[in-house]
Amino acid sequence: MADSAPLQQDLARVALGDRAAFERVYHSTSAHLFGVALRILGRRDAAEDVLQEAFVSVWHHAGSYQAASSQPMTWLISIVRNKALDVVRSAAVRHETSMPESKDGEELELADERPGALALLMAGAEALAIRGCLEALDASHRQSLALAYYHGMSHSEVAAHLQAPLGSVKAWVRRGLERLKKCLETTGQANLTGR
Amino acid sequence: MNYNRPELLDRLASEYVLGTLRGRARRRFEQLLRQLPAAQAAVRAWEERLGPLAVAVPPVAPPARVWAAIESRTAPAARRAPARAAWWKPLLGFALGSVLTIGLVQLMPGSFMSLDGLAQKEQALPQSYVGLLVDKEGQPTLLISSTRHGTRVTVKSLRPVAVPPGKVLQVWALPREGAPFPLGIATPTKPPGSTHFDMSGTSEKLLANVPRLAVSIEDGPAQPGATPGEFILTGHCVKLW
């Protein structure tokens, strides 16, 4: 991640109602955050709405951002992801078996992109130097985490996608997360986002 | 479910951040998040662990209409009736020379910025350190500010603070590293009045590495190296320039 100090400072200013700082935050982060929302939602219109909601929320809640305990980009990503997951959750179309490809409206070519989730996970890992930790996971664990994280898939959606029993997927996700945490802790890479 | 089990809390936090905690379980956990600092800490830790993976997602420029919509929804006019939790934002906004809603003008004497005797160009913000201290319920109580190169601190009372007779209100700086050190004694006054105290050095010297401020009730002014009593007010210390 790029130097987070200017972003941190701008968020502090946003908390005090500084509109110029707010615009700077938007312009420096929106493309990235839009990409994240688009991956999860698979639809431009829905992703635009989520981005809008996220930034309105940033304007009102920048004061709750705690520079001491989290990176500014991580904080913003969490807001966008949570809003996107709310939408995914409430959209009946997406429920259980149906996939975002089957939705109306503008669509992404997710069928082609979906296998890319795993590649993204490893690319993200490269940036983090935690590649070793992810590689140490079983392939099924790694794949389940990638589908859930990048595409906002639920356990049942991952199960449908991988054509695996739901119970197995739940266990893969749980063990995958546990092992990732353990590995990050032992290699001391958990906090390597710039501090 | 017993949320006091740390390993269960951590597992729920991990699936919450990953996104696989769904439906009623997710809503219950969100409710828990609002109440339980341990849950917030667990979620933050997982956000830090997984969040960086999002770095790999290719950026896609959103259309201009998104910013236009955000702008119109957050414009000052839209803030005339601010949410209760954020009522003080316009107040601070005024302190910084931006727009203020009419109802708050009376609360906020225009002297706030000029008190330090710094002639500032119109519209220009003086380079300042500002801390909004909130009580345990999160109510903004004191607004503490000083110019970057000044030693005089302005303490604006937003809500009454009860100081027992014979006690003082000690303001502490909580540096990024190291122990809290005393900044001075605040004399609260009837809101929305202001009082002052002087620090031993300039804000720049004392506060450059101080992300938080806090206030405790003490028997007398604390000496450097003293251990603070219980903090009754705390808040971020923000650089403004």
Higher local confidence (pLDDT), B190 or A50: A50
Specify the higher pLDDT residue, A127 or A82. Answer: A82
Count of CB atoms situated within 10 Å of the CB of B136: 10
Q: What is the predicted pLDDT for the residue at A188?
A: 60
Higher pLDDT, B59 or B115: B59
Beta-bridged to residue B155, according to DSSP, are B144, B195
For the ranges A87-96, B105-114, B194-203, B207-216, the lowest mean pLDDT is seen at: B105-114
DSSP B39: H
Q: Cα angle vertex B183, ends B177, B187, to 5°?
A: 145
Q: Look at residue A66 in the predicted model and tell me its pLDDT.
A: 72
CA proximity to A8, closest of A50, A52, A86, A69: A69
Between residues B173 and A106, the one the model is more confident about? B173
- Please state the rounded mean pLDDT for residues B105-109: 35
Q: Which residues pair with B212 in a beta bridge?
A: B174, B236
Question: Mean pLDDT, chain A, as a whole number?
Answer: 78
Give the nearest partner residue to B20 out of A15, A71, A173, using CB atoms: A173
pLDDT(B89) > 60: no
Contact B20 A154 (CB under 8 A): yes
For the cut 50, the answer to whether the pLDDT of residue B96 exceeds it is: no
Could you tell me how many helices (H) and strands (E) chain A has, helices first? 10, 0
Query: Is B8 at the interface with chain A, CB within 8 A?
Result: no
Confidence class for position B127, pLDDT limits 50, 70, 90: low
Q: Looking at residues B122-136, what average pLDDT do you find? A: 65
ipTM: 0.78
Q: What is the dihedral of CA A150, A156, A160, A163, to 10 degrees?
A: 100
- Note the residue count of chain B: 241
pLDDT, one tens digit per residue, over A43-58 is 899 999 999 999 999 9
Asked if residues A30 and A51 have their Cβ atoms less than 8 Å apart, the reply is: yes
How many whole angstroms separate alpha carbon B69 and alpha carbon B78?
A: 12
Select the residue from A8, A59, A131, A147 to test the B interface by mutation, using most B Cβ atoms within 10 A: A59
For Cα atoms A84, A89, A94, give the angle at the middle one, nearest 5 degrees: 100
Segment A161-177 shows an average pLDDT of 94
Q: Is the pLDDT of residue A164 over 70?
A: yes
DSSP state of B123: T
Residue B152 pLDDT greater than 80, yes or no? yes
Determine whether the interchain pair B18/A193 forms a contact, defined as Cβ–Cβ distance below 8 Å.
no
Q: Please say whether the beta carbons of A155 and A167 come within 8 A.
A: no
* Residues with Cβ within 8 Å of residue B129, at least 6 apart in sequence: B145, B146, B147, B148, B203, B207, B237, B238, B239, B240
